[in-house]
Amino acid sequence: METVVTTATIAAAAVSPSPTPFTTQHLAGEQILSKLHAIASSAAYWGEKLPGSAVVKRYIVSSHQNDPVRTIFELLFFLFAVRYFVASRYSTSNPHHVKFTEADIDELVAEWEPEPLVPKTTVLEELDIGSIPLIHGESGPVVDVESARVGHVKRATNLASTDFLGWARDPVIKERAVQIIREYGVGSCGPPGFYGNQDIHVKCERDLARFCNSESAILYAQAFNTMSSVIPSFMKRGDIVIADDRVATSTQKGLQVSRVTLRWYKHNDMEDLARVLAKTNHEFRKAPLTKRFIVTEGLFENTGDLCNLPEIIKLKYQFKYRLLLDESLSFGLVGSTGRGVLEHFQENGHPELSRQQIELTAGSMAIAFSSAGGFVAGSDAAVEHQRIGSNAVTFSASMPGYLAAASSQAIERLEEDNSRVVKLRENTTHFRTFLEKQLQAARVLGSVVEFVSSPQSPHILIKLSDDFRPETLTSFVAAEELLQQIVDLCLAEGVLITRHKRVPTHEIIALESMLRIEVSASLSTQQLDESASIIAGVVKSISSA
Amino acid sequence: MSLNPDPHTRRRSSSILRHLEPETITEQSDQNALPNLNATWVNNKGAWGVHFFIIGILKICFDLIPGVTRELSWTLTNITYVIGSYIMFHYVTGIPFEFNAGAFDNLTMWEQIDDGDQYTPAKKFLLGVPIGLFLISTHYTHYDLHMFILNLLACLVVVIPKLPSSHKLRVGLPDLSPDTPSTY
């Protein structure tokens, strides 16, 4: 209370006229004041003449209401708005934008050297292009091959085709395809949502759903596009994906395009997966809840082994993730009736697993079913979402009807009779054991080459051993060149195998040079034995050279 | 993974104010891939006129409620408009359509308008409307102190986030929890 009184007294003292006598300064001040008054009154006079001035005056008078603080406040607010209105536009997105003068632009244009429209091929590309084998006539277990590096080989055993069950030459499936071409023509002439789906496509989707024990399935026209389209259709920026660090190229493309937050776990290392899941869940514990997926492959194209599905399903429930499983290679190859990696584990001590525990399963008909295209199996809702939400379905013409029909036929054959799958398994076990024996006998297994793929896999991958490091083997390209020599020597002796070819610029995982041998059910034991001996002999000759 | 760094990771800070991290190259290219349909419409004339229409409708609705004085009606109109426009321009982030893999997920609509440029015609208009509405409201509430304070606070709530210095600025509680998970 006392302070208030003091302040008031001081204020009163300050306002009260000072006792000092008049000076020249006071006179000058008075003159200025009177001049200002004259200006103000003339301004008021002319101001009143302006149209609308009465309204403004009335507003100011009525709004002032003997409250100068508030009037000043409103005036400041008004002035702020005026200042905002007259400020000129500027960009926040590009604050370091450099302004060039005409001379600068001319100089830069003169300096510019255009890149060639067709870039120069790299050494690896030249190797790839130069070693493409050309098959004359029909592809099958024995082929007539021409290669720029080897020449013409009339009869070569085909161990490079992914036609594992040998249905590309199956007369029943062929007959069915011919019949459908006569009935429906060769093209579908549109995307599925735009007249592209015919009754045979719908039938094929139902067959696939039945085959996978899922609620529904949807066809994709291209096998490679399946994974790279289904990932962005369900996952976008802000969603979290934990992926195996050996997934195939199509999956990598999908993960890149979808812009998800991506975390890798070490290939098939379940402890590492658990660690990454726990770490990621902790890292994003306060982030808005977005979709979280584990993405992995059934039978890995890059390593030739199976994922540990029971453990992944356990972890996915423990850490509340969804699972997207790419069974492109495993359908038709794994499991006693070819129903993939799920069936394999159901038959091997995990009968409790079911397709419903895997939210999305992608597959391919271009491999074991010897047709074309891919599919995604899942719940009705997940499949319906893709019909309008997956780019490869919405914007790409659906596959020709006869390919869908061929796939349906292959599925029906597989459901009736699994002898081909059994034969493939026998061939695989036989070939793998025999090849191992031959390589051991040649003293090259472990010292020169070693198996990457697991013993049960018909997709056999062989890499150069870490101990085998001749002086010429200095780079990735050199390793590829060495493997190509093995491939060429094998072809010269009548066995067609291939390198595990990939395009380095499109891979976001580390590359490893590998030989790729595909065992087929349509090969005889004798053909397999001969091929294994030849491969072992060639590897030995390379190592001693 | 270096190819796809997480754009939402921010440095830990004990401040309640923090700036969004600048966009990555992929985010920028996704944002520029297509016109942002969520923000382009604010430059249309109809989109400007509709503000006056909404304010008029609000005023009429509040006048129709029995017992609401003219002073209260103007204040309620101002507050309702301000809350609505705050939610629309400054609270909701991202866009309702899906065509660029969520490239705008972190940005409010105000930050999306005109690609984040400042002092554009649409932004000047959208800032002018609440200020004008505030001046009108205080005038018609006859400068009652309580109403004045209410109207002023409401006005500041939408004017402050519109200032260029508030661009990509977020207010929130600091994260002080430990950085490592308890297990593993």
> What tens digit of pLDDT does each residue of B2-16 get?
333 344 444 445 678
Mean pLDDT of chain A: 89
Assigned domain for B25 exists: no
- Tell me the HSE value of A301 on the side-chain side, using a 13 A CA sphere: 22
Assigned domain for B182 exists: no
User: Environment class of residue A278 by beta-carbon count within 10 Å: exposed (0-12), middle (13-18) or buried (19+)?
Assistant: middle
Distance separating alpha carbons of residues A339 and A324, to the nearest angstrom = 16
Model confidence at A353, pLDDT cuts 50, 70, 90, reads very high
How many beta carbons lie within 10 A of that of residue A520, not counting itself?
27
Per-residue model confidence as pLDDT tens digits over A266-285: 999 999 999 999 999 999 98
Please name which of A415, A386, A418 lies closest in space to residue A207, comparing C-alpha atoms. A415
Counting one residue from A and one from B, how many pairs have CB atoms under 8 Å apart? 103
For the structural domain made of A123-158+420-544, what CATH number should be given? 3.90.1150.10
Per-residue model confidence as pLDDT tens digits over A76-114: 888 998 999 888 888 877 656 678 899 999 999 999 998
Query: Above 80 in pLDDT, residue A428?
Result: yes
Query: Above 60 in pLDDT, residue A7?
Result: no
pLDDT at res. B22? 84
* Chain-chain contact of B117 with A256 (C-beta, under 8 angstroms): no
Per-residue model confidence as pLDDT tens digits over A377-414: 999 999 999 999 999 999 999 999 999 999 999 999 99
As its CATH architecture, domain A170-417 has 3-Layer(aba) Sandwich (3.40)
Question: Would you give the DSSP letter of residue B93?
Answer: B
Tell me which chain A residue has its CA closest to the CA of residue B183.
Answer: A278
Query: Above 80 in pLDDT, residue A66?
Result: no
Task: Please report which residue ranges of A89-168 form alpha helices under DSSP H.
Answer: 102-111, 123-130
Structure tokens at A64: 């002032």
- In this structure, are residues B88 and B125 in contact, taking their beta carbons and an 8 Å threshold? no
What percentage of chain A carries pLDDT values higher than 90? 68
Substitution target from A62, A84, A506 for chain B, most B beta carbons within 10 A: A84
Assigned domain for B81 exists: yes
Bridge pairing between strands A322-326 and A360-364: parallel
Assigned domain for B73 exists: yes
Span A36-57, average pLDDT: 76
ipTM (interface pTM): 0.81
* Chain B from 37 to 96: CB within 8 A of any A CB: none
Please name which of A541, A531, A498, A487 lies closest in space to residue A150, comparing C-alpha atoms. A487
pLDDT at res. B158? 93
pLDDT-wise least confident of A165-174, A412-421, B114-123, B137-146:
B137-146
Query: Above 50 in pLDDT, residue A14?
Result: no
Helix crossing, A401-416 with A171-184: angle to 10°?
150
Domain with CATH 3.40.640.10 in chain A: 170-417
Mean pLDDT of chain B: 84
Integer CA distances (angstroms), A115 to A106, A112, A119, B174, in order: 19, 9, 8, 49
Span B154-179, average pLDDT: 84
Using CB atoms, pick whichever of A89, A238, A274 lies closest to residue B118.
Answer: A89
* Chain-chain contact of A255 with B4 (C-beta, under 8 angstroms): yes
Please name which of B137, B115, B126, B114 lies closest in space to residue B163, comparing C-alpha atoms. B126
Query: Above 50 in pLDDT, residue A2?
Result: no
Per-residue model confidence as pLDDT tens digits over A514-542: 999 999 999 999 999 999 999 999 999 98
Contacts of A260 in chain B (CB under 8 A): 4
pLDDT at res. A71? 80
Q: How many domains does chain B have?
A: 1
Query: Above 80 in pLDDT, residue B69?
Result: yes
Domain with CATH 3.90.1150.10 in chain A: 123-158+420-544
- In this structure, are residues A514 and A463 in contact, taking their beta carbons and an 8 Å threshold? yes
Contacts of A233 in chain B (CB under 8 A): none
Model confidence at B102, pLDDT cuts 50, 70, 90, reads confident
Beta bridge partner(s), residue A242: A263, A294
Q: pTM, whole model, 2 decimals?
A: 0.80
Segments forming the whole domain that contains residue B144? 43-96+104-167
Span A25-29, average pLDDT: 66
